[in-house]
Copies of this chain bind each other. A is one copy, B any other.
Amino acid sequence: MGIQQVKASVITIGDELLIGQTIDTNSAWMAQELNKIGIWVHRRVAVGDVWDDIWHALQEEERLSQLILITGGLGPTADDITKPLLCHYFGGRMVVDPGALANVKHIFEELLKRPLIERNLKQAEVPDVCRVLQNRRGTAPGMWFEKEGRIFISMPGVPHEMKGMMTYDILPELQERFTLPVIEHRSLLTAGMGESFLAERIADFETQLPSNIKLAYLPSYGMVRLRLTATGRSERLVAELEAEFDMLKSLVQDILVTDHDIPMQEVVGQLLAERGKTIGTAESCTGGYIAHLLTSIPGSSRYFQGSIISYANAIKTDLLGVDPDVIARHGAVSRETAVQMVRGAKASLGTDFVMVTTGIMGPEGGSPEKPVGTVWIGLGYGDAIETHPFHFRFDRQRNTELTAAHGLNALRKFILQHS
């Protein structure tokens, strides 16, 4: 049997997505997982809790895709109209599913220890023209419909419920059903060169790529991630992709951060783990964000020890031993304060490496000499201390994110240089 190219659409349903109250993280996750098994999501559509808009989206995606995944609109409340609509669309009638009913009862009686009400029982009703996908993580069942060679799968919008259903039921079934092509990605992260200069440097490389391998540029926070994607049928595909990826790596050797698809905090964590070194942070302006990023990586307790978040100057002087005179003379946001924070953090936390931040994130607190976005990063290892000034020009959130990204990149180079 030949390889089958399956094109998929994702439809997300809910007013909250259209008024901007909720950011859709579901469809990115779904696309990623489908991509891994060789299904290309070529369209994602979001519509509100509006009968005609949902109906139209189903019709349109049915025309364009063989697989249509639907999330949202399955809750127990009156704003959710997806289930009756699907029943109508596929020409069925509502019946109680015994498996879904047992699941709802189990959740309420055994786990929540709450009485079941009529509204919850309704969650066990499904159109009689679908196959039910049991929800291992909640009350709303999934539904698998087929119509003229098209597959429609409706899932709850709660991310961990959707993920459970995809992982345990839907992805394995799709892999069994179709003979899918191989899609492979390799990506690397560069720092220190703008997108257009990088493009000049690798223009010849891009031109010579075979037609089944695509290059993409993904800039973020002043760094650029490059991604090669190969699509194909043969066993040689991975070897071909690896050869091209090796060539690309050699072209960006001097600005290469990592040749894995991992975030900067994981790159730093791996360097520390390999060297058996520990780290701690002293954060003023980033308020714990860098510690949060470092500890978001599983197993980070091997190298991350702790932090002192010195938002108030009293904490800088009491817990980090920063001289109040230095703050009075140079300001809390200064090279001098950053240096004293490095010394204090090393003494208090006792880690091999320390990283400190002090800056003005905005919207308040800026001055003509030190506008919003002024940041000092400090790094320490043994007796070595390094400081870096930054001048970001954005809002509070982005200034914080940029400080973390550039600070962690400076830390990465500092670790490579000193250990």
Contacts and interface: CB of A to CB of B under 8 A. Distances in A.
A46 B47 CA distance: 12
This chain's copy number in the assembly: 2
Nearest to A285: B295
Interface in A74-115: 75-79, 112, 114
A41 B18 contact: yes
A201 to B, nearest CB: 11
**Residue of A195, A217, A306, A308 with highest tally of chain B CB at under 10 A:** A306
Interface stretch (A174-182, A232-240, A311-319, A406-414): A311-319
Contacts of A309: 281, 288, 291, 295, 306-309
Interface string A280-304: 1101001111111011101111001
B119 A196 contact: yes
A23 B18 contact: no
Interface string A50-65: 1001001100100010
Contact of A42 (B29, B50, B300, B301): B50
A128 to B, nearest CB: 24
B318 A15 contact: no
Nearest to A393: B137
Contact of A29 (B20, B194, B396): B20
How many A residues touch the partner, as a band?
Answer: 35 or more
A171 interface: no
A117 interface: yes
A262 interface: no
Interface string A237-270: 0000000000000000000000001000000000
A384 interface: no
A294 B287 CA distance: 8
